[in-house]
Structure 1
Amino acid sequence: MTVTLAGLATVVPPTVLVQDEVRDVFAAQPGLTRLAQRIVSTSFGVSGIETRHTVLEELTRSARDPGDPALFFDAESGELLLPGTKARNDLYAEHAGRLYVEAGRAALDRAVGLAADDVTHVVTVSCTGFYAPGPDFVLARDLGLRAGVQRYHLGFMGCYASMPALRLAAQLCEADPDAVVLVVSVELCTLHLRTSNDPDTIVATSLFADGAGAAIVTARPAAAGERVLELDRFATRTTPQGEGDMAWKIGDHGFEMVLSNAVPGLIGEHITGALAPLLAEEADLADALAAQTAGDAITHWAVHPGGRSILDKVEAALALSASQLAPARRILRDFGNMSSATVLFVLRDILDAPETSNGDRIAAMAFGPGLTVESALMTVRG
């Protein structure tokens, strides 16, 4: 049975953050030590990011009405404020639902021959907020899905979560050939940014952004001329080290990210072993990986751009060309790290590129707490 991913769509909120301007705001915060100021300057400067998107219009100096109370940013003083977790999560509930619906509708519009009434299952993904009835309910209600649509939510898994969501969707389709699964990831990471002297927090602040990605997974035949991705297989591996180097916890003033500077090195050290089970069933790909020439065997690499140093380590460890990581670097440059949604942006960039051809192989991968490496092998059709 062939299961495909179709209708791949991405959405971002309209407010744009310019990286250099955000750097200057964070570097000027009262209470920062000289060391923290240097880390802010370095982290933002080497991030590989030029722009990011946020649901917080308030973070731009001219967006807030003078009569409205400041919650995150006092534009007059230039000071970043410290709202509590409830205030941040309330904003998540306010903004996330709209993005879930917008992304889900865009995926349905891009999937040829499929409509809302065809959707049998919904899988939603997020690690940046919670509410109930949740986003799966909102999607079913606002998109007018059938009354009996089955709904699942994968929460608080981190940056790799869209990969197990796609794997779950593929398994549902393998169990039921008529299934049509709508997968939507929404992450509002900027709701949890804050000023700090802690190096891990500063690094996270320099990287994370807001965005949404969605797709349709189904075993139904693709329409003539429609470009889709065959979902060939998935693999998951945890590295033997690094459990404490990437974490996501709930604090009194939002969710707290631990992202140590050891993460890129750990990924570079273990990425080959993490990919081995994904490619083991195809001798040519497995041999290429063992010979450190995986870049010659797979055309495209949809790597989650957790940061520029992570991409550098993956490129070196797998002997990839600069062009093979160009999609990931473009997404990082223009959108930042949108946690679980980001790999869907990279896949869409690859799928829509004019140089992508029928039969091209794509290796997709994302990294998260554990350290966990989730990967998938896909084939372009159409």
Structure 2
Amino acid sequence: MKLSERPSQYAPPGSAGAGGNSRIFPRVFGVGTAVPATSYTQEEILEEFKVTDPRIRSIFRNSAIERRGLTLPPLLPDGSRAVETQGQLLQKHVTTGLAMGREAVEACLKAAGAELSDVRYLCCVTTTGLLTPGFSALLIKELGIDRHCSRLDVVGMGCNAGLNALTAVAGWANAHPGELALMVCMEACSAAYVFDGTMRTSVVNSLFGDGSAALAVLAPEGGAAAEVRERTAGPSLLRFSSCIIPEAVDAMRYDWDDDHGKYSFYLDPEVPYVVGAHAEIALGRLLAGTGLRRSDISHWTVHSGGKKVIDSVRANLGLSRYDVRHTTGVLRDHGNLSSGSFLFSYERLMAEDSVRPGDYGVFMTMGPGSTIEMALVRW
């Protein structure tokens, strides 16, 4: 039998799994988010960069985004914004990313009832810059995390990377019961902007915002202390699935632009439709062998990739506007926050207090590759 044909050994938390053993799944124990102190409406951005082209103004105004946190270039004496070099953009990536990352980590640990000294594994995710050593080393130094903390940097995977990283985090937590793992998405998207008035860059510039999100994960141990912690925990991470669309590998890119001498994003106009067309395939893979149907999923935490991609996913999966209310709310208030967007939606879901024990949920992210990542969770 081929590996892909093997029946799933999925079992709900606390039930008898393969061999009759009770399966313990890693669980989410806290989430925290952060954005820059400076934010702008779409109209303010158009004015800041003196955009007059009606086509570009229309892109900004029809984005379903009201406001985004951004770290704009410094003002020149004439009131215009400076053109930043790649070196200056990289420095923005580091300073803005670290500042937001620290704030998100502190908020996450507070929500989890944990301390920095509890962190045993740190996974940092980013796409808006490249540096060595990576954010994991810098954040350990910045926060004073134990020098023996295991770490991982997930770099360059794009908006889907939060779930790619969470797969690794959940795996580590599962192998180290009772030890806290932390994932931090640090995306200073304004460190990847090119302002040249073209349609290519304008689509990107109308969409992305700066933000960081952190998630605490732990595989519970037995005992009375664990039982107390269980009652305040978030969902169990049951399984993950991945669906890459190789024929659309160039549809979303962050690569070198010779004309400007710096990196820049590219988004193909067909991206929403390509992602939407494969959403049902990805979901089928996630639920295969579980006995669950789409109607059994009570909560959808979807990446805020943009109005068109959200609409396409919603149409192809048969989701209601209510199902994606937090996804569209995050897009409206923050724009596309890249890898951490879905955690902003998850934070809103938990604050809403609408989740009940036994509810199933799906985390979904989309990004370059083109790729759809999913996770099945249960409260």
Give the shorter-chain TM-score range.
0.7 to 0.9
8 Å contact from structure 1 (residues 93, 130) kept in 2: no
Q: Counterpart in 2 of 1:347?
A: 346
- State whether structure 2 residue 92 is matched by structure 1 residue 86: no
Q: Counterpart in 2 of 1:68?
A: none
Q: CA RMSD in A?
A: 1.8
8 Å contact from structure 1 (residues 52, 336) kept in 2: yes
**Aligned-partner SS, 1:300:** strand
Q: Counterpart in 2 of 1:64?
A: none
8 Å contact from structure 1 (residues 241, 266) kept in 2: no
Q: Counterpart in 2 of 1:261?
A: 269
Letter in 2 for 1:202: S
Letter in 1 for 2:245: T
* Residue of structure 1 aligned with 2:281, choices 260, 273, 277: 273
The Cα of 1:154 is off from its aligned counterpart by: 0.5
The Cα of 1:27 is off from its aligned counterpart by: 5.4
The Cα of 1:362 is off from its aligned counterpart by: 1.3
Q: Counterpart in 1 of 2:317?
A: 318
Aligned residue pair count: 348
The Cα of 1:366 is off from its aligned counterpart by: 0.8
Deviations 1:40-60 (A, max 9, x none): 122111111000002x2xx4x
**Equivalences for residues 210-221 of structure 1 within 5 A:** 210-220=210-220, 221=226
* Residue of structure 2 aligned with 1:45, choices 61, 79, 93: 61
Letter in 2 for 1:301: W
- State whether structure 2 residue 137 is matched by structure 1 residue 132: no
TM-score (norm 1): 0.86
The Cα of 1:194 is off from its aligned counterpart by: 2.6
**Aligned-partner SS, 2:101:** helix
The Cα of 1:246 is off from its aligned counterpart by: 0.7
Change (3 A) 1:139 1:317: same
- State whether structure 2 residue 40 is matched by structure 1 residue 17: yes
Deviations 1:178-233 (A, max 9, x none): 33111111100012223234323111110011000001111024615414121011
Unaligned runs of 5+ in 1: 30-36, 60-70, 286-293
Q: Counterpart in 1 of 2:78?
A: 76
Q: Counterpart in 1 of 2:17?
A: none
**Aligned-partner SS, 2:241:** strand
Deviations 1:15-52 (A, max 9, x none): 011112213444536xxxxxxx2331221111110000
Q: Counterpart in 1 of 2:368?
A: 369
**Aligned-partner SS, 1:48:** coil
Unaligned runs of 5+ in 2: 1-23, 221-225
Deviations 1:285-329 (A, max 9, x none): 2xxxxxxxx3x3211111111100111111111111110011000
Q: Counterpart in 1 of 2:248?
A: 242
Letter in 1 for 2:173: C
The Cα of 1:283 is off from its aligned counterpart by: 2.2
8 Å contact from structure 1 (residues 116, 145) kept in 2: yes
8 Å contact from structure 2 (residues 34, 101) kept in 1: no
**What is the alpha-carbon distance in structure 1 between the residues aligned to residue 273 and residue 339 of structure 2?**
21
**Equivalences for residues 89-238 of structure 1 within 5 A:** 89-112=90-113, 114-220=114-220, 221=226, 223=229, 225-238=231-244
Change (3 A) 1:127 1:175: same
**Aligned-partner SS, 2:235:** strand
**What is the alpha-carbon distance in structure 2 between the residues aligned to residue 375 and residue 197 of structure 1?**
35
TM-score (norm 2): 0.87
8 Å contact from structure 1 (residues 8, 216) kept in 2: yes
Letter in 2 for 1:371: S
Q: Counterpart in 2 of 1:283?
A: 291
**What is the alpha-carbon distance in structure 1 between the residues aligned to residue 192 and residue 292 of structure 2?**
44
